[in-house]
Each structure stands twice: as C-alpha cells, then as structure tokens.
Amino acid sequence: MTIQPLRLLGDPVLRTACDPVTRFDDATGRLADDLLENVLLPGRAGLAAPQIGITLAAFAYNVDGQHGCVLNPVVVEASGEYDGPEGCLSIPGLTACCVRAMRAVVTGVDRHGDPVTVTGTGELSRCLQHETDHLRGVLFIDRLTGQRRKDALAQLRSPVRPLSREAG
C-alpha cells in the first residue's frame, strides 16, 4: 500500500472543481485502490481525490464498517437536519459543529463505470456530503455561519491547534 500525502488548507487543488472520470482503465482502478486503502487508515472517514492532489471526481468512505469508492458522485437526495462536529483531514486540528442533511443519497459509478448508489444517515450522510463538496472545491468551513464560522476562523489563525481525527 502507498500512503498518499494529504494536501492541506491553502493548497489550490482543494479549491478546484474536479473533472468527471471519463476513462475506466488501470489508472482509474489505481486511483480507486489508493483512495480506499488510504481511507481505511485509522481515524479516517472519507477521502476525496483532491486531498491527494488529483482533480478527478472520486472519493472513498469508511463509516461504521461501510466502505467503498464512488466516482462522479452526485447528491440526489438530502433530507432532515443533522447538526454535529465535523473535521477534515486537510484542515488538521479543526473541528466545528456543522449542519448537514440527516439522510443523503449519492449516485455515481464504480471503478468499472457501473452505476452505484450509496444511502447514508447520520455520520455516513455527513461523510457523503462532505466528500462530494470536496469535488466542487468546497470545504466544510465554507458551510459554517455566524459564531461557528467566527470561532473556526479564529481557531485557524491560532498558532497551535490540537490534531484532529475527524472526517475527511
């Protein structure tokens, strides 16, 4: 297994909208393998391709024993409200409460181009939304408002932040 280095806040790749995956070849299979192998490391819930420097629409998830990889994901359904702590591997040490949909359905394709659908509630829903956002250049801190946003930005400016093991 190759542990991929993570791109961190400030790297322009994290703010770049990803291109769709159009070729389903060995390179696509290696990308899917890399994402899956790296998301299965301890303390990781999700990992999007831009977080390892690749601007293709792909992410892997690993929440409550459910794991997989989705290429060209689209959130086709989101319902309810789920408020709770969220973090990001690309913003180590920062955790903030963020409102997400309680239930989310993502459709896309697998490494071979075959259709896949992933339905999640709670933390899996949060992860699916978080990782799909990454593919559009959106970070969870962009979803924060009011005092939560102010507190998160202040924490980012702080010279010392504790390491976080929250969602990717």
Active site (catalytic) residues: 131
Secondary structure element (H or E) that encloses residue 24, with its range: none
Q: What is the residue type of 141?
A: I
Give which of 83, 94, 84 is closest to 157, Cα–Cα. 94
Q: What is the residue type of 65?
A: G
Give which of 12, 132, 121 is closest to 72, Cα–Cα. 132
Burial of 150 (0-12, 13-18, 19+ CB in 10 A): exposed
